[in-house]
Chains A and B, each alone.
Chain A
């Protein structure tokens, strides 16, 4: 991902009101981590599992933050339980910022990731979590703002799956 895209992604999160991010790092979007870490306006909390990252973001959101979770799409599988019971069942809006490995638009797709990518969207749909796949920087800030607004309106997690230019 070009540095400019990483900067726009982080700025887009901030402009949308996101002030708390729990995360496990991955490869495609990892440039956003130091940018968030260096920004005092956003609290960045490392977790040991995506399942945990979701529960921490849910707790922070209940505590008044606009919470987000940054993870690889493998984390959707790992965290599906906490997404369902704390995100959906309890009805807590969190933004999911997901590196979408193995999907068709993943520019670094290979046999290692294809199966992971193929099942990501069906799993999100099975969980009832709305999503958008973002492949380039066109209207990026608007898409992030729309996603946060949708999460808050629906009192539910909303997922942004980043691929295409974000996976270069």
Chain B
């Protein structure tokens, strides 16, 4: 399964969902595929699920999507226990698990290339709707299908290592510009002024 193909399928379903990505290939690919104002392209690993969880709790009427990687989730395994107990119904997490630290440029294997099963860990942490997806048809039925369900979804998508993200242009919006675009979009669609922005 190729990550870019999964993201293209996901992009076709975007309406008013909010999408938080961690730093790595899916951030670059998602930024190329989707120009949605509800994209928050975080520039770091290990933070996307936490930020997405906070958004989901603050905006329970909005569907929030986290796009993360195996290396990033391994940095923040505490998220599994918290999600397993909070179970925000409006959050869907996609982990694109290629089994390598691709950004290292030496394709050094992550723990998921060995004995570690993130979906099993998530289920043991209390996330009942957690599973591993290996085929694009399964991604479409189970993964995309979760966007219309009222339950926390956690999908470990086993993908081939792809170097496509190195061939496409990186996003040209910096973190601050992305943040303000994102918050302005939320203000507009939620119909209120957020404390973060305030008045000058």
A interface residue numbers (CB < 8 A to B) = 17, 20, 22, 43, 45-49, 51-52, 54-67, 81-82, 85-86, 89-93, 152-153, 155
How far is B198's CA from A93's CA once the two chains are assembled, in angstroms? 11
Contact B50 A56 (CB under 8 A): yes
CB distance from B194 to the nearest CB of A (A): 4
- How many residues on chain B are close to A (CB under 8 Å)? 38
CB distance from B122 to the nearest CB of A (A): 14
Known A-B contacts A82-B47, A86-B42; A64 and B53 likewise in contact (beta carbons under 8 Å): no
Contact A49 B42 (CB under 8 A): no
- For B23, give the chain A residue with the smallest CB separation: A85
CB distance from B51 to the nearest CB of A (A): 4
CB distance from A113 to the nearest CB of B (A): 24
How far is B43's CA from A152's CA once the two chains are assembled, in angstroms? 22
Contact B78 A55 (CB under 8 A): no
| Interface class of chain B by DSSP | helix
Contact A62 B78 (CB under 8 A): no
Contact A63 B55 (CB under 8 A): yes
Instruction: Give the A-B contact count at a CB cut-off of 8 A.
Output: 130
**Which chain B residues lie closer than 8 Å to A152 at the CB level?**
195-196, 198
B183 within 8 Å of A (CB atoms): yes
**Which chain A residues lie closer than 8 Å to B78 at the CB level?**
47-49, 51-52
> Which one of B40, B49, B53, B190 has the highest number of Cβ atoms from chain A below 10 Å of its Cβ?
B53
Contact A92 B196 (CB under 8 A): yes
Question: Which of these, A56, A64, A85, A89, contacts B195 with CB under 8 Å?
Answer: A64
How far is B40's CA from A22's CA once the two chains are assembled, in angstroms? 21
B179 within 8 Å of A (CB atoms): yes
CB distance from B179 to the nearest CB of A (A): 6
B33 within 8 Å of A (CB atoms): no
Beyond A20-B58, A52-B78, 14 additional contacts (C-beta under 8 Å) are: A55-B47, A55-B49, A55-B76, A59-B53, A59-B57, A61-B58, A62-B186, A63-B54, A63-B57, A63-B186, A64-B196, A85-B42, A93-B195, A93-B196
- For A67, give the chain B residue with the smallest CB separation: B54
B168 within 8 Å of A (CB atoms): no
How far is B179's CA from A63's CA once the two chains are assembled, in angstroms? 11
Contact B54 A58 (CB under 8 A): yes
Contact B51 A64 (CB under 8 A): no
Question: Which of these, B40, B54, B182, contacts A60 with CB under 8 Å?
Answer: B54
Contact A51 B196 (CB under 8 A): no
Q: Which of B79-87, B97-105, B134-142, B146-154 lies at the interface?
A: B79-87
